[in-house]
Amino acid sequence: MLVLSRKLEQSLNLGDDITITVLGIDGDRVKLGIEAPRSVTVLRQEIYQQVRNANHAAAARGEGPSVRNVQAAIRRREPMPT
């Protein structure tokens, strides 16, 4: 893990198109501003983990439309059943 120190209003860049700026420091809380392209998903770690766990659970249960239903819907250009 890379550990960096930044002061208020200082930034760091991730690649060419993501900038993270320290906007505020209040006790043990740090407020960050993130500038990133709309194509980049930005989630808090706990939300990311919840989404990931839900996706894994759904895949394990086989939820969602079957491949045959998806193929048929594409051929007929009909909405997929939920």
Enter the tokens of residue 38.
């709309």
The whole-angstrom separation of Cα 42 and Cα 64 is 25
Q: Domains of the chain: which residue ranges?
A: 1-42, 43-77
Backbone angles phi, psi at 21, to 5 degrees: -120, 135
Integer-rounded Cα Rg, in Å, for the chain is: 20
Each residue's pLDDT tens digit, 24-77: 999 999 999 999 999 999 999 998 899 888 888 877 776 666 666 766 677 776
Q: What are phi and psi of 31, to 5 degrees?
A: -100, 120
| pTM for the full predicted model | 0.64
